[in-house]
Amino acid sequence: MAKGIWVFAEQREGQIKKVTYELLSEGRQMADQLGEELCAVLVGKDVAEMAGSLGEYGADKVLVVENEALENYTTDGYTNAIAELIRQNEPSAFLLGCTVTGRDLAAQLAQRLETGLMTDCTGMEIADGQLVFTRPIYAGKATVRAACPEARPVMATIRPNTFVAVANAKTAEVVKAAVDPGNIRQVIKDIVRQISERPELTEADIVISGGRGIKSPENFKVLEELADVLGGAVGASRAAVDAGWISHSYQVGQTGKTVSPVLYIACGISGAIQHLAGMSSAKCIVAINKDEEANIFNVADYGIVGDIFDIVPVLTEELKKITA
C-alpha cells in the first residue's frame, strides 16, 4: 500500500482553517479510491488538542509537530519541519489550501523536495489510478486538467470553497512527530490583527465587492450593511484599492486574493481580467453596474443595470425582511 495522501492542517491562533476540513472531506474519497491512508499534518505550539476535529472530517492519522519555534508561521520553520516529515514517510500526495500561508509553504516545499506542484486548483479527481487536478489558466478564461505521474509526493494548492466539508464522526490516530524546525531566518517582531465579525475573505461563502463605481471610501458602508445582513465578507477591486478607498487586504484579483464563494456580488466593478482571475470560480455571480456594456456582465449569472446607490440599499432592506 502506498504511504498516503497528506493534508496540511492550516491553523491560526487555535482555529483550524475551514479549507482544511474541505480538503480532508474530499481527500477521504480520494484515499478510499486509491486504497491509501489519509493523514493530516498539524504544526505549531500546543496544537495537539485540535487533532480530534481533523479525524471527524476523515483523517485516519494526524501527525502533530509541536515546537516553541513553530508558534507562528514562518517560511523556514514550517518548510524545514514538514520537508523532514515527508522525507521520512514518503507520502504519495500533499495537499494545501490556496491561502497566503498555503501558497508560500507549497512553493518552498516543492522546491526543497524537487517535486511537482499544481497551484490554484479548482478540482481534483482520480483518473487511471492517479490524482488529476483542474486549474484555471489565462486569468480564468480557460481550464486545464493536469497530473504529475512521476512526482512524489504530488503537491497541489486548492482554492477554499472548492469542496464541501462533511463530518463523518471518524476517530483519528494522533502521532506526535519529533522533527527539528532548523535554522529560522525570519523574525516576527509584531502581529497586527484586524478585528472583524465578518468571515475571512478567502473562506467566506458570500462576498460583496466594490469597485470604481463606489466613488469614495465612505460609500463602502453601503456594501458593509449588505454583507452584514447576509453574513458575508467585503471585497474590492484593484481600482478601489489603488484609489486608497480600502486596504489591499480586501483586494480580490490576480494581484490580490482569490475567492470561490457560493455567492459573489460585484458592485460598480467593470470586470477587468485582473479582477475576474480572482473570483470567476464563484458558484453564482451577481453584477450591479450602470454601464450595460461592462465586461462583468459577460461572466455574471445575474445582472442588474443601474446605480448601485439606488439598488443595494433596497436589496439590503428587502433581505432584512426575509432574514427577520
Residue spans of the domains in the chain: they are: 5-176, 201-323
Per-residue confidence (pLDDT) for residue 239, from 0 to 100: 95
| CATH classification number, 201-323, choose in 3.30.230.10, 3.40.50.300, 3.40.50.1220, 3.20.20.70 | 3.40.50.1220
What confidence tens digit (pLDDT) does each residue in 80-119 have?
Answer: 999 999 999 999 999 999 999 999 999 999 999 999 999 9
Cβ–Cβ under 8 Å, residues 267 and 308: yes
- Whether 1 has a pLDDT exceeding 60, the answer reads no
CA atoms within 13 A on the CB side of 291: 14
Residue 297 pLDDT level (bands cut at 50, 70, 90): very high
CATH dotted code for 5-176:
3.40.50.620
CATH fold match for the domains 5-176 and 201-323: yes
Residue 2 pLDDT level (bands cut at 50, 70, 90): very low
What confidence tens digit (pLDDT) does each residue in 20-77 have?
Answer: 999 999 999 999 999 999 999 999 999 999 998 999 999 999 999 999 999 999 999 9
The pTM of the full predicted model, rounded to 2 decimals, is 0.84
- Whether 10 has a pLDDT exceeding 90, the answer reads yes
| Nearest CA among 255, 235, 230, 258 for reference residue 245 | 235
Peptide bond into 217 cis (omega under 30): no
C-alpha span between 35 and 48 (Å, rounded): 27
